[in-house]
């Protein structure tokens, strides 16, 4: 048999196989393309969810330390808290209802969080005591003179958070101190208590405060050390806060967006058990929205109060 005849027979055998293969490909192509499309959509949705969750975690990370240290070295009830800071009416954060409080914002319930807290200074006190409200507190190390950390206030009321320091393990408990002078290793302080004892080695904490809320798809914070609120995390559509004083917990609800745009009404993913009023962000958003919920304990909000701090007679 000639080589030409052999090639013709092979071609006649291969052609039907190719036709069958093409038919099979045409049959499975739609299903394959649909699978590829679905896989691409799932990957895109997963990336979008990860983006939104990262934004939510960035937002709550900003509040983690203030929540943990809120109430450190200060009273937790409204009257005692305000009196401990010399009853400075209409002056935030000293006129707040306590070191942690929640209020409405722009017509949204529980949309603003306020925290007063202590920030470790890295400096400890020597044993100090006083039979009156004013005294000198000796430190084991010199407290930094950085004006962004502490600013003594020898004239007028101490109306800046940088004018105050806190101690946790002292008697009586929960007494903030206004810093009048700072020379070397000694702080001249004034408190609303009639006397106090600070144990050896007790760390000095600096008073700090923060207000947090969402506006126009962004988390804003105000820290009372600089003027005005600062944008912190974009893509945070809404945040709500619920304070349970009896349980000593704070629950944060975060609605964050990814980058995938949508049209028409939508649900917020993972928000099935949320209060209905917290889901209103989905009605106006043009992005896919995701829910994040976290509950923190408030370990430093002390319940021991100072009924003796009623006479605000400090002189400045």
If pLDDT is split at 50, 70 and 90, which confidence band does 184 have?
confident
Residues 6+ apart with CB under 8 A from 122: 141, 203
Residue 35 placed within a domain: no
User: Is a pLDDT exceeding 50 seen at residue 96?
Assistant: yes
| Segment among 187-191, 230-234, 239-243 with least mean pLDDT | 187-191
Residue 191 placed within a domain: yes
Identify any residues that bridge with 154 across adjacent strands, giving them in sequence order.
Answer: none
Q: Prior bond to 172 cis, omega within 30?
A: yes
Q: Prior bond to 93 cis, omega within 30?
A: yes
Print the domain residue range for 85. 58-297
Residue 15 placed within a domain: no
If pLDDT is split at 50, 70 and 90, which confidence band does 103 have?
very high
How many domains does one find in the chain?
1
Residues 6+ apart with CB under 8 A from 236: 55, 56, 59, 214, 217, 218, 219, 254, 255, 256
158 burial level (CB within 10 Å; 0-12, 13-18, 19+): buried
Residue 27 placed within a domain: no
User: Is a pLDDT exceeding 60 seen at residue 310?
Assistant: no
pLDDT value, residue 34: 67
Cβ contact 209:161 at 8 Å: yes
Residue 16 placed within a domain: no
At which residue do the structure tokens 């200074």 appear?
A: 121
Q: Higher model confidence: residue 29 or residue 253?
A: 253
Residue 247 placed within a domain: yes
Structure tokens at 86: 């010399």
107: left (phi over 0), alpha (psi -120 to 50) or beta: left
Mean pLDDT for 16-37 is 68
pLDDT value, residue 72: 94
Cβ contact 207:165 at 8 Å: yes
Residue 306 placed within a domain: no
Residue 72 placed within a domain: yes
Q: Higher model confidence: residue 17 or residue 127?
A: 127
Distance CA 308, CA 172 (A): 10
Residues 6+ apart with CB under 8 A from 293: 251, 252, 253, 254, 274
- Please report, rounded to a whole number, the percentage of residues in the chain having pLDDT higher than 70: 82
Residues 6+ apart with CB under 8 A from 141: 122, 123, 124, 185
CA 120, 167, 99, 302 dihedral sign is positive
Of the candidates 182, 205, 208, 179, the one whose C-alpha atom is nearest the C-alpha of residue 123 is 205
Structure tokens at 197: 């004892």
Cβ contact 245:65 at 8 Å: no
- This prediction's pTM: 0.82
């Amino acid at each position: 048999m000639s080589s030409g005849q052999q090639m013709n027979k092979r071609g006649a055998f291969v052609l039907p196989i190719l036709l069958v293969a093409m038919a099979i490909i045409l049959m499975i192509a739609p299903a394959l393309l649909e699978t590829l499309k679905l896989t691409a959509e799932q990957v895109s949705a997963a990336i979008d969810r990860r983006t939104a969750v990262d934004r939510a975690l960035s937002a709550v990370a900003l509040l983690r330390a203030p929540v943990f240290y809120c109430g450190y070295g200060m009273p937790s009830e409204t009257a005692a808290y305000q009196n401990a800071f010399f009853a400075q009416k209409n002056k935030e954060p000293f006129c707040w209802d306590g070191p942690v409080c929640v209020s409405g914002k722009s017509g949204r319930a529980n949309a603003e969080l306020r925290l007063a807290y202590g920030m470790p200074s890295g400096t400890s006190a020597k044993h100090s005591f006083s039979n009156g409200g004013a005294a000198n507190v000796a430190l084991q190390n010199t407290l930094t003179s950085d004006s962004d950390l502490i600013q003594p206030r020898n004239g007028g009321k101490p109306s800046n958070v940088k004018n105050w320091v806190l101690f946790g393990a002292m008697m009586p408990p929960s007494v903030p101190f206004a810093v009048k002078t700072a020379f070397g290793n000694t702080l001249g302080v004034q408190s609303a208590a009639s006397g106090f004892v600070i144990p050896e080695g007790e760390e000095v904490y600096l008073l700090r405060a923060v207000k947090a809320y969402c506006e126009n798809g962004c988390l804003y914070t105000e820290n009372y050390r600089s003027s005005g609120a600062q944008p912190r995390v974009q893509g945070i559509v809404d945040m709500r806060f619920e304070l349970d004083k009896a349980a000593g917990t704070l629950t944060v609800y975060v609605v964050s967006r990814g980058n995938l745009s949508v049209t028409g009404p939508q649900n917020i993913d993972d928000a099935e058990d949320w209060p209905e009023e917290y889901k209103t962000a989905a009605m106006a958003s043009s992005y896919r929205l995701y829910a994040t919920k976290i509950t923190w304990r408030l370990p430093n909000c002390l319940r021991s109060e100072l009924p003796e701090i009623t006479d605000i007679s400090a002189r400045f």
